[in-house]
C-alpha cells in the first residue's frame, strides 16, 4: 500500500529531476541535487517494500517503519501540490486570459525545474523541504540497515507468501458429517460430471469459483469422494496445484497418482508422452485444486495430452478467479454462493456446542447472532465455532459477539490468511484501491462511478488523461470482482460495466484489518466510545464520520490535518472544514447544510467534493480556487439555482453532477474552454 504513494511522488518528481537544471537554480542548498537524492532514496526504498509489507502484516514495528515512509511520501505529495498551486497563482497574476494557453503554461511548470524555482523565497522553502525529507529518508533507510534488513526485490522476482500465510496443500479426504449447506451444490456438480460432453475432442472442464474460505475445496472433495465407489471413472486423480503453476510437478503428480509410483523422468515432453499413453482410452476424473495463475502456455500442453482420455473424461478445477476458469477452458463455471445465516449457525453450533452443558438456550440465541458475522463463509463459521467451544459462560459468548471479528487474533491466524493469499496476488495499485474501500460502511451498495472518482482523487489510478484513469479504474473493479472481493455486482446491460457492488462482511473486516492504522469509521452516539477510538487512530488518513449525537468532533480523536478523506454524514462539526489541510476527498452529503463556508477555498488539495442532498442556496466564490477539483456533486441541492461566476477557473473539473430536474434552471455563467 505504501508503494502506491511512493510511485505517485516519484512520478511527479521525475520530470523535474530529468530536466536539465540551470545554474541559478542551484544557488539555494543545491536543491536539484537534493531532489535527485530524494528520488534515489525513494526508489531504493521501493525495492524493499515487497519484503517489508509482507512482514508488516503481523509485525507492529515493521508497520511503524512503513508508516514513517508513508508520512514522508504524503508530505512530499502535498508539497508538490502547493508548489504547483503557487505557480498557478503567479501565472494568474500575469493576466493570462486564454484558458487553454493558461493551462498549457501550468502544465509546462511540471516539465521545468527553473520555472518552479523562479522566486528565491519559493526556491528556499522548496529546497529546505527537500533537504528535510532527505534527512528523514536517510534515517528510515539506516533503521532498516541496523534492525530490519529487508531484502530487496530482484528483477523479475515473483511475490512470495509471508511465512505467516502459507498455503495448505489439501488432500481429497473430508468428513462429510461436518459439511453444511452444500448438498445442492454437490448434486449439481455430480450431474455435470456424469453428463455427456458436447465439446468434441476437447476435454470437458468444470470450475468451482469463489472467494477464499467459501468451501471450494471442501465441495470438490465431496464430489470426488462421491465417485470413490462408483466405477464410472476408471481413473480418479486429485492434484493440489497452488502457486506457482508448476507444469512439470503437476505432470509428475498425475502420473504418480495413476501408477502409484514416482516417474523417473525430468523432461516435460517425456512426461506429457507418458501421461498421454497412460490416460489413452480411459475415462478419468482429474481434480485440479487451488489454481491461481492463468498461464495459457503452461496449461495448453497438459490439456492437449489429457484430451486423449476416453469420452466422458472430466477435469474439475477450483479457483478464486473467474479469469483462471476461462483460461482453463471451462465449459461450466459453478459460482459458489455464501452460506445462509442458518447454515452458518448449523456449522458453528456443531462445533461450539460440543462441550457446552449449561445455558444452552441463551447461548443458542447469541450463537445465531455470531453466525450472522460470518459473511456466509464456512471457514469463518468453523473458526468461530472452535473459538466458542472454549468459552464456558454467557458473558464470554457475549464478548465474542460484541467484538469485531477483525480485531480477534483468531481471525488474523485462521480466517484472514485465506483472504490474504488472494489479496497478495493483486497488483500494488489494486491492493491500495481495495483497502481504501474499508472507509465505506458495511452492507453499503457501492456506486462504482463514485468509487472510481474517489480513487482518482487519491491518485491511485495512473493515466495521462481522466478517460484513461477512469478506464483503469474499471479494470481494477473488474479484477476485484472476478476474485470475489466485490460481490452482488450489478452491470449495465449495454456496456457490460459493473455499476454497483458490495463487500461481504468478512471481506470488509479484512479491508479494515489491512488499514487498521489509517482508515476508520466512527459511528457513535455522542461521546460514547471516544476514548477507545482516540487511542487507535492518531494517524488516521481516511475517516468516515457518523456522530449522530453531534456532541463530539473529529479533532478530538485524530490529527485532522493529516486526513486525505473525510466522509461526513448528518452533521458537520463546527470549525472542522478549516483544519482539513491535506484532504483529497470530502463528502458532505446529507449534512443539512444551508451554506458552505468560504473556508472551502483553503482546501487546495481537494479533488472530490460531494455536496448532494443539502439545502445550500449559493456556493461561495472561493470554491473556484480549487484548481485540482475533479468532481463536484450537487445532486438534489434543490435550493441552489446558480453556479459561481468564476466556475470556469476549475480547469481540472471533469464531473459536475446535478439533478436532471434542476439542471435547466442553473445559471452557468461561462462555457468552459475546448479542453472540457
Task: List CB contacts of 272: < 8 A, sequence separation 6 or more.
Answer: 251, 301, 302, 305
Residue 31 clears pLDDT 60, i.e. is over it: no
Which of 214-228, 229-243, 245-259, 538-552 is the least confident region?
A: 538-552
Residue 86 clears pLDDT 60, i.e. is over it: yes
Q: What is the pLDDT of residue 273?
A: 94
Residues 608-622, mean pLDDT to the nearest whole number: 94
Band (436; pLDDT cuts 50, 70, 90) = very high
Q: What is the pLDDT of residue 664?
A: 42
Band (72; pLDDT cuts 50, 70, 90) = confident
- From residue 402, alpha-carbon distances to 370, 396, 523 in Å are 9, 10, 15
Comparing 292 with 207, the larger pLDDT belongs to: 207
Q: What is the pLDDT of residue 107?
A: 52
Question: What is the helix (H) or strand (E) element at residue 637, kind and residue range?
Answer: none
Q: What is the pLDDT of residue 201?
A: 64
Which of 159-173, 632-646, 661-675 is the least confident region?
A: 661-675
Q: What is the pLDDT of residue 622?
A: 95
Residue 623 clears pLDDT 60, i.e. is over it: yes
Q: What is the pLDDT of residue 476?
A: 96
Residue with cell 447472532: 369
CA-closest candidate to residue 374, choices 176, 509, 186: 509
Residue 215 clears pLDDT 80, i.e. is over it: yes
Task: Domain ranges for the chain, please list them.
Answer: 2-159, 176-335, 341-416, 425-504, 509-663
User: Taking the CB of residue 202, how many other CB atoms lie within 10 A of it?
Assistant: 13
Rounded distance, CA 253 to CA 271, Å?
A: 10
Query: Which pLDDT tens digit goes with each residue over 236-286?
Result: 999 998 777 889 999 999 999 998 888 888 899 999 999 999 999 999 999
Which segment, 54-68, 341-355, 519-533, is predicted with the most confidence on average?
Answer: 341-355
CATH of 425-504, one of 1.10.10, 3.40.50, 2.60.120, 2.40.128: 1.10.10
Residue 666 clears pLDDT 50, i.e. is over it: no
**Residue 85 C-alpha from the chain's centroid:** 30
Q: What is the pLDDT of residue 432?
A: 92
Band (127; pLDDT cuts 50, 70, 90) = low
Rounded distance, CA 286 to CA 303, Å?
A: 11
Which of 145-149, 164-168, 501-505 is the least confident region?
A: 164-168
Band (478; pLDDT cuts 50, 70, 90) = very high
Which of 81-90, 103-112, 406-415, 649-658 is the least confident region?
A: 103-112
Residue 98 clears pLDDT 80, i.e. is over it: no
CATH of domain 176-335: 3.40.50.300
- From residue 373, alpha-carbon distances to 343, 369, 382, 541, 643 in Å are 13, 7, 12, 27, 46
Rounded distance, CA 518 to CA 538, Å?
A: 8
Q: What is the pLDDT of residue 528?
A: 42
| Helix boundaries (H) for 280-377 | 296-306, 322-328, 341-352, 360-371
Task: List CB contacts of 493: < 8 A, sequence separation 6 or more.
Answer: none
Residue 93 clears pLDDT 70, i.e. is over it: no
Comparing 89 with 81, the larger pLDDT belongs to: 81
Residue 507 clears pLDDT 70, i.e. is over it: yes
Q: What is the pLDDT of residue 676?
A: 38
Q: What is the pLDDT of residue 114?
A: 44
Q: What is the pLDDT of residue 282?
A: 93
Q: What is the pLDDT of residue 652?
A: 92
Residues 490-508, mean pLDDT to the nearest whole number: 88
Q: What is the pLDDT of residue 549?
A: 53
Q: What is the pLDDT of residue 3?
A: 74
Q: What is the pLDDT of residue 28?
A: 40
Which of 141-145, 318-322, 356-360, 565-569 is the least confident region?
A: 356-360
Grid cell of 557 as nine digits: 480523536
Query: Which pLDDT tens digit goes with each residue over 296-336?
Result: 889 999 999 999 999 999 999 999 888 999 999 999 999 99
Which of 18-22, 128-132, 361-365, 554-558 is the least confident region?
A: 18-22
Q: What is the pLDDT of residue 654?
A: 93
Residue 205 clears pLDDT 90, i.e. is over it: yes
Band (629; pLDDT cuts 50, 70, 90) = very high
Rounded distance, CA 55 to CA 63, Å?
A: 8
Which segment, 283-297, 358-372, 477-491, 606-620, is predicted with the most confidence on average?
Answer: 606-620
- From residue 77, alpha-carbon distances to 2, 10, 123 in Å are 13, 9, 17
pTM for the whole structure: 0.74
Q: What does pLDDT average to over the chain?
A: 80
SS3 content of the chain, % helix, strand, coil (to 5): 50, 10, 40
3-state secondary structure of 238: strand
Residues 612-633, mean pLDDT to the nearest whole number: 94
Rounded distance, CA 317 to CA 311, Å?
A: 18
Q: What is the pLDDT of residue 336?
A: 92
Residue 214 clears pLDDT 70, i.e. is over it: yes
**Residue 630 C-alpha from the chain's centroid:** 22
Q: Is the dihedral of CA 227, 228, 230, 233 positive or negative?
A: positive
Residues 520-533, mean pLDDT to the nearest whole number: 53
Q: What is the pLDDT of residue 126?
A: 62
Residue 604 clears pLDDT 70, i.e. is over it: yes
Residues 21-25, mean pLDDT to the nearest whole number: 38
Q: Cis ω on the peptide bond leading into residue 244 (within 30° of 0)?
A: yes
Residues 197-210, mean pLDDT to the nearest whole number: 82
Q: What is the pLDDT of residue 351?
A: 86
The domain made up of 509-663 has a fold known as: 3.80.10
Comparing 519 with 539, the larger pLDDT belongs to: 519
Band (162; pLDDT cuts 50, 70, 90) = very low
Q: What is the pLDDT of residue 498?
A: 95
Residue 543 clears pLDDT 50, i.e. is over it: yes
Q: What is the pLDDT of residue 555?
A: 72
87 by Cβ neighbours in 10 Å (0-12 / 13-18 / 19+) ranks as: buried
Amino acid at each position: 500500500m505504501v508503494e502506491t504513494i511512493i510511485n505517485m511522488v516519484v512520478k511527479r518528481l521525475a520530470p523535474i529531476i530529468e530536466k536539465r537544471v540551470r545554474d541559478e537554480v542551484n544557488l539555494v542548498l543545491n536543491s536539484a541535487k537534493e531532489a535527485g537524492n530524494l528520488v534515489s532514496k525513494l526508489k531504493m526504498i521501493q525495492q524493499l517494500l515487497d519484503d517489508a509489507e509482507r512482514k508488516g502484516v503481523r509485525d507492529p514495528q515493521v508497520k511503524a517503519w512503513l508508516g514513517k515512509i508513508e508520512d514522508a511520501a504524503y508530505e512530499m505529495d502535498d508539497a508538490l501540490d502547493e508548489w504547483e498551486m503557487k505557480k498557478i497563482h503567479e501565472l494568474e497574476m500575469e493576466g493570462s486570459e486564454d484558458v487553454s494557453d493558461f493551462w498549457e503554461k501550468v502544465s509546462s511548470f511540471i516539465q521545468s525545474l527553473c520555472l518552479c524555482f523562479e522566486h528565491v523565497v519559493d526556491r528556499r522553502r522548496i529546497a529546505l523541504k527537500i533537504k528535510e525529507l532527505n534527512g528523514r529518508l536517510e534515517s528510515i533507510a539506516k533503521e532498516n540497515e541496523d534492525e530490519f534488513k529487508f531484502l530487496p526485490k530482484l528483477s523479475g522476482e515473483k511475490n512470495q507468501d509471508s511465512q505467516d500465510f502459507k498455503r495448505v496443500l489439501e488432500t481429497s479426504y473430508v468428513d462429510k458429517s461436518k459439511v453444511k449447506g452444500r448438498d445442492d451444490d454437490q448434486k449439481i456438480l455430480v450431474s455435470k460430471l456424469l453428463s455427456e460432453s458436447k465439446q468434441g475432442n476437447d476435454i470437458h472442464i468444470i470450475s468451482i469459483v469463489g472467494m477464499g474460505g467459501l468451501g471450494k475445496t471442501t465441495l470438490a472433495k465431496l464430489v470426488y469422494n462421491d465417485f470413490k465407489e462408483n466405477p464410472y471413472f476408471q481413473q480418479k486423480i486429485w492434484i493440489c496445484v497452488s502457486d506457482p503453476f508448476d507444469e512439470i510437478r503437476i505432470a509428475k503428480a498425475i502420473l504418480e497418482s495413476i501408477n502409484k509410483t514416482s516417474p523417473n523422468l525430468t523432461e516435460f515432453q517425456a512426461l506429457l508422452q507418458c501421461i498421454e499413453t497412460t490416460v489413452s482410452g480411459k475415462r478419468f476424473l482429474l481434480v485440479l485444486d487451488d489454481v491461481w495463475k492463468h498461464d495459457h502456455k503452461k496449461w495448453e500442453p497438459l490439456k492437449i495430452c489429457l484430451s486423449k482420455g476416453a469420452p466422458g473424461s472430466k477435469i474439475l478445477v477450483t479457483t478464486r478467479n473467474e479469469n483462471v476458469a476461462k483460461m482453463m477452458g471451462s465449459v461450466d463455471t459453478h459460482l459458489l454462493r455464501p452460506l445462509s445465516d442458518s447454515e452458518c449457525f448449523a456449522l458453528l453450533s456443531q462445533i461450539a456446542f460440543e462441550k457446552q452443558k449449561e445455558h444452552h438456550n441463551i447461548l443458542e440465541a447469541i450463537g445465531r447472532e455470531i453466525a450472522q458475522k460470518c459473511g456466509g463463509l464456512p471457514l469463518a463459521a468453523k473458526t468461530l465455532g472452535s473459538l466458542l467451544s472454549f468459552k464456558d459462560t454467557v458473558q464470554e459468548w457475549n464478548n465474542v459477539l460484541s467484538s469485531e471479528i477483525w480485531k480477534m487474533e483468531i481471525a488474523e491466524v485462521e480466517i484472514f490468511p485465506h483472504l490474504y493469499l488472494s489479496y497478495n496476488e493483486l497488483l500494488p495499485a489494486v491492493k491500495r484501491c481495495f483497502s481504501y474501500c474499508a472507509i465505506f460502511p458495511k452492507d453499503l451498495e457501492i456506486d462504482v462511478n463514485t468509487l472510481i472518482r474517489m480513487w482518482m482523487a487519491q491518485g491511485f489510478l495512473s493515466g495521462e488523461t481522466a478517460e484513461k484513469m477512469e478506464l483503469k479504474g474499471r479494470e481494477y473493479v473488474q479484477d476485484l470482482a472476478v476474485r470475489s472481493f466485490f460481490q452482488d455486482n450489478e452491470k449495465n446491460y449495454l456496456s457490460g460495466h459493473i455499476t454497483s457492488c458490495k463487500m461481504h462482511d468478512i471481506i470488509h473486516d479484512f479491508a479494515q484489518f489491512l488499514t487498521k492504522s489509517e482508515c476508520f469509521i466512527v459511528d457513535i452516539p455522542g461521546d460514547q466510545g471516544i476514548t477507545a477510538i482516540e487511542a487507535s487512530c492518531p494517524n488516521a488518513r481516511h475517516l468516515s464520520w457518523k456522530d449522530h449525537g453531534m456532541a463530539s468532533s473529529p479533532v478530538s480523536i485524530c490529527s485532522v490535518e493529516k486526513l486525505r478523506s473525510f466522509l461526513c454524514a448528518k452533521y458537520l462539526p463546527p470549525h472542522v472544514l478549516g483544519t482539513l489541510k491535506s484532504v483529497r476527498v470530502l463528502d458532505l452529503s446529507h449534512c443539512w447544510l444551508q451554506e458552505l463556508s468560504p473556508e472551502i477555498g483553503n482546501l487546495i488539495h481537494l479533488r472530490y467534493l460531494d455536496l448532494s442532498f443539502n439545502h445550500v442556496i449559493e456556493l461561495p466564490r472561493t470554491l473556484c480556487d480549487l484548481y485540482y477539483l475533479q468532481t463536484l456533486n450537487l445532486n438534489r441541492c434543490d435550493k441552489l439555482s446558480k453556479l459561481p461566476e468564476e466556475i470556469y477557473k476549475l480547469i481540472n473539473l471533469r464531473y459536475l453532477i446535478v439533478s436532471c430536474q434542476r439542471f435547466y434552471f442553473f445559471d452557468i455563467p461561462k462555457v468552459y474552454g475546448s479542453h472540457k
